[in-house]
Structure 1
Amino acid sequence: MTATLEATDLRKQFAIGRPAIDGVSFAVPAGEIVVLLGPSGCGKTTTLRCVAGLEHPTGGEIAIGGKVVSQPERGILVPPRARDLGMVFQSYAVWPHMTVRQNVVYPLKHRKISRTDASKKVDEVLALVGLSEYADRSVVALSGGQMQRVALARSMVYRPQLLLLDEPLSNLDAKLRLRLRDDLRVILKQTGMTALYVTHDQAEAVVLGDRIGVMRDGKLLQIGSPDEIYNRPADLFVANFTGATNELAGTLIARNGQFGTVDFGGGRCGEAALLQQLNPGDKVRIALRPENIAIGRQDGANSYTAGIVDRRYQGTQTVYDIDLFGHRLEALELGTAARHAIGVETPVCLPREACWAYRDQGPLSYD
């Protein structure tokens, strides 16, 4: 039976350095997929390992299905085998000397299930992951994507109350990763399983997650739907990490509700959406996605002229480097033809709702 997961003020301190997890709180309702997203070393895998019981938290509480499984202050630490979890690792972790069916049935051998029922469960889960015709094939004869499907089937065959997935697609080549990414969400939703998924890949998080939690330096910066994370990032790091890689520095000189006027220097001003509490006189940084810069068009308050410095034709789209009043920005334009030549001046528009203003706290660091 699928269950809820709740982590409250979760902390993990290793012997030296800053905490690996620093006061992280979130909840995963039954049947929901929550993705923890962030760069290497942000604490996302340590969080997942604490939920699994493979790491011992130094503070906070973890509850699965309403039952507390970890609370160091009260000496509660339920071992991994008693938490009724399924886990899919980055490596395939299949037994190479077994067939697909033998790998998948293995977890059922230690449970009180008849051979007939076990065979039925294996058939059902192999059909779910698209491996029915490979049931009696040795796993070493499978592709990487198929082996990861075996690992997924093995983790789900006994219907655990919670499924944990630690970057399960990162060892696959790009084409397989895209295919299995799309299939994985369908599989999880068909089972109604509660899942906690860890990745550093923004596109993977957006496709798979009902909600995404962005982590940095052991802290959970924001958790929300993919739309909220993508279109209303809580701070400059979340915006930058999820693809708003362009930055412009300026000073907020006026505000009007959710928008403000920013002075970029040299007599140039523009309008931006205020996603933090900001006041006139505050130094700000504007985050802007490459795909939101309109080249060859002037429309609205943020219309300027920019120079095309470089371009990279990619078949279905072209990426341009533009010089906008001394700042080098990246702009992406869809289409199978590159429309703008290097060295020319062209109109550009930065839609004010796509320019997100945050308090300027200096250059970002991913360390």
Structure 2
Amino acid sequence: MATLEVADLRKQFSIGRPAIDGLSFAVPAGEIVVLLGPSGCGKTTTLRCVAGLEHPTSGEISIAGHVVSSPERGILVPPRLRDLGMVFQSYAVWPHMTVRQNVIYPLKHRKIARADAGRKVDEVLELVGLSEYADRPVVALSGGQMQRVALARSIVYRPQLLLLDEPLSNLDAKLRLRLRDDLRVILKQTGMTALYVTHDQAEAVVLGDRIGVMRDGKLLQIGSPDEIYNRPADLFVANFTGATNELIGTLVERSGGFGVVDFGDGRRGEVALLHALNLGDKVRVALRPENIAIGKQDGVNIFPARVVDRRYQGTQTVYDIDLFGRRLEVLELGTAARHQVGVETSVSLPREGCWAYRDTGPSSYD
């Protein structure tokens, strides 16, 4: 197991803003770190720099304490000497080979006795749940099974570091969910250090010991899934991870980690302060749809609202409500849609789930 360290990494392709802009993070041995962000945020470029497939403009990358990339010091270790495993979006399996032949292939270039190689292949095929498919041609497999072959081939030689670039994005929804859950178990059983790239929040939460949220080549926040989801560093992180509602107001009171925001017309609510804010500051309050309760009469932030739309989804119902003249989305679990369109009702906004950030413009995360 190896530690990955990335220090002040920068990658400039041509004119315009850098693809990676001063990125620093570490992946301790045996940990899975997920880089999460929208398309074009620099997450795949970061992964490719770690792999040696892209050459950084500046900064340092170290694997297991050895510097593998440092333009300033003239160090650039080629990919084949970095002892990496890589799993891509495309399955990248050899179509003319069987499952076993695909998985044993990396061992042929390492001085491993045939008996040992056979044993390693058997072990890893069992780990990824493909033992019974060992002698089938890979072209006879489903997409999910092919991706398991690609994973097995990447870990059979126990590399120091495993890099995964959106490996589930080409699978259908059901397969993606199953392999997502299995993948964390497989990686934890191998004890491997892994850097995983995705734009899918649910994938990041299930797989990552820690999640790094990226935007425009910068790392906005890195922390446990719980931290990212319950204490987002800014409005972009909050919005990208599902806090799609916003209220606008002015901070009028402050006490420790909480404050009071005036939403206009004398309507005030208690909020959590995740930024250093001053009294009188204009703020945007981010809220998750699942944290708003409709029809609740008790609590600190109870306000009248009107249901303006309803979308029944079987196991849950999504409502649009009008609150303070703004349209908010509310998600309520359960197989019964309890509230009618057009009704006036009360809503409860938990203060721990109302995250206040400084208002920096029309929309801080466009």
Scaled by the length of structure 2, what TM-score is found?
A: 0.99
Query: What's 2:138 paired with?
Result: 139
- Structure 1 match to 2:254: 255
Q: Is the partner of 1:265 in helix, strand or coil?
A: coil
Partner Cα separation in structure 2 for residue 18 and residue 366 of structure 1: 17
Inter-partner Cα distance in structure 2 for 1:226 and 1:13: 30
Q: Is the 8 A contact 2:308 2:322 kept in 1?
A: yes
Distance in 2 of aligned mates of 1:193 and 1:225: 18
Provide, for residues 316-344 of structure 1, a one-character-per-residue CA deviation record: whole Å limited to 9, x for no partner.
11000000020000000011100000111
**Distance in 1 of aligned mates of 2:273 and 2:223:** 18
Which 5+ residue runs of structure 2 have no aligned equivalent?
none
The 1-side partners of 2:42 and 2:363 are apart by: 18
| TM-superposed deviation, 1:191 | 0.3
Question: What corresponds to 1:173 in structure 2?
Answer: 172
Q: How many equivalent pairs are there? A: 366
Residue in structure 1 matched with residue 231 of structure 2 by the alignment: 232
SS of 2:263's partner is strand
SS of equivalent residue, structure 1 residue 18: coil
1:229 alignment partner AA: I
Match of 1:205 in 2: 204
Q: Counterparts in 2 of 1:26-175, with a 5 A limit?
A: 26-175=25-174
What's the CA shift for 1:163? 0.0
Structure 2: how far apart are the matches of 1:189 and 1:283? 45
CA–CA separation in structure 2 for the residues paired with 1:362 and 1:194: 40
Separation (CA, whole Å) in 2 of partners of 1:211 and 1:178: 19
Shift of 1:366: 6.0
- Match status 1:191 vs 2:200: no
8 Å CA contact 1:290, 1:332 repeated in 2: yes
Judged with a 3 Å threshold, the aligned counterparts in structure 2 of structure 1 residues 133 and 275 are, in CA distance, closer, same or farther, namely: same
- Paired with 1:298 and 1:22, the residues of 2 have a C-alpha distance of 48
Cα-to-partner distance string for 1:117-175 (whole Å, 9 max, x where unaligned): 11110000000000000000011110000000000000000000000000000000000
User: For the residues of structure 2 that align with 1:251 and 1:173, how far apart are their CA atoms?
Assistant: 45
1:321 lines up with 2:327 in the alignment: no
Deviations 1:193-248 (A, max 9, x none): 00000000000000000000000000000000000001000111000000100000
Q: Secondary structure at the match of 1:27?
A: strand
8 Å contact kept, 1:22–1:219: yes
2:20 corresponds in structure 1 to 21
Cα distance between partner residues in 2 of 1:366 and 1:67: 38
Asked whether the 8 Å contact 1:86–1:164 carries over to 2, the reply is yes
Letter in 2 for 1:86: G
Give the alignment's TM-score, normalised by structure 1: 0.99
Partners of 2:327 and 2:44 in 1: CA distance? 35
Contact 1:237-1:364 at 8 Å conserved across structures: no
Amino acid in structure 2 at the alignment position of 1:179: R
8 Å CA contact retained: 1:42, 1:215: yes
Matches within 5 A, 1:327-342: 327-342=326-341
Q: Deviations over 1:61-119 (max 9, x none)?
A: 00000000000001000000000000000010011111100100000110000111111
Contact 1:39/1:366 (CA < 8 Å) preserved in 2? Answer: no
Verify the 8 A CA contact 1:7 1:61 in the aligned structure 2. yes
Counterpart residue number, 1:288: 287
CA distance, structure 2, for counterparts of residue 122 and residue 15 of structure 1:
44
Give me the identity figure in percent: 87
